[in-house]
């Protein structure tokens, strides 16, 4: 199956997609003074999110759901592509890390994945 995954910020509106994951429930690096000005491409932000047990649980459930849906879509002949949105408040930290996590997991299972992120400039947008 082919997946298109994009990160976004709910503050800018929810997108249209086959599946949308809301990561606003995860601990927000924006509220950590040493991480606030960093973005998801910085290792400390990725580590903050991915080394948190709750974050890993949520992301692993999301990945498991996508993998199951891919199998069910194939079984039913519903097509071979799926669009997935991954959102947080501003679209700069949690959503980007989450989108990349899901993309890596899907690729490990043989799926084709394209990932898009909005502007990841260091402007404060949480």
Question: What are the phi and psi torsion angles at 80 (to 5°)?
Answer: -125, 25
Structural tokens at position 81: 């592509």
Digit-coded pLDDT (tens) for 24-57: 999 999 999 999 989 888 999 999 999 999 999 9
Query: Tokens 């990725």, residue?
Result: 46
Model confidence band, residue 119 (pLDDT cutoffs 50, 70, 90): low
**pLDDT over threshold 80, residue 87:** yes
Q: What does the pLDDT read at residue 122? A: 44
- Comparing C-alpha atoms, which of 82, 100, 89, 99 is closest to residue 124? 89
Q: What does the pLDDT read at residue 125? A: 44
pLDDT-wise least confident of 14-23, 72-81, 88-97: 72-81
Run of H or E residues at 22: strand 19-22
Structural tokens at position 83: 């669009």
Q: How many residues does the chain have?
A: 126
Do residues 7 and 21 make contact, with C-beta atoms less than 8 angstroms apart?
no
Question: What are the phi and psi torsion angles at 100 (to 5°)?
Answer: -70, -35
Do residues 31 and 101 make contact, with C-beta atoms less than 8 angstroms apart?
no
Q: What is the C-alpha separation between 90 and 30, in angstroms, rounded?
A: 10
Q: How far is CA 126 from CA 20, 22, 99, in A?
A: 19, 15, 17
């Amino acid at each position: 199956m082919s997946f298109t995954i994009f990160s976004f910020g709910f503050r800018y509106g929810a997108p249209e997609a086959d599946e949308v994951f809301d990561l606003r429930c995860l601990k927000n690096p924006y509220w950590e003074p040493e991480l606030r000005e960093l973005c998801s491409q910085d290792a400390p932000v990725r580590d903050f999110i991915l080394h948190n047990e709750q974050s890993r649980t949520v992301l692993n459930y999301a990945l498991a759901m996508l993998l199951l849906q891919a199998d069910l879509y194939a079984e039913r002949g519903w097509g071979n592509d799926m669009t997935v949105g991954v959102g947080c408040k501003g679209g700069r930290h949690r959503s980007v890390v989450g989108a990349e996590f899901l993309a890596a997991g899907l690729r490990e299972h043989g799926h084709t994945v394209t990932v898009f992120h909005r502007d990841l400039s260091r402007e404060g947008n949480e």
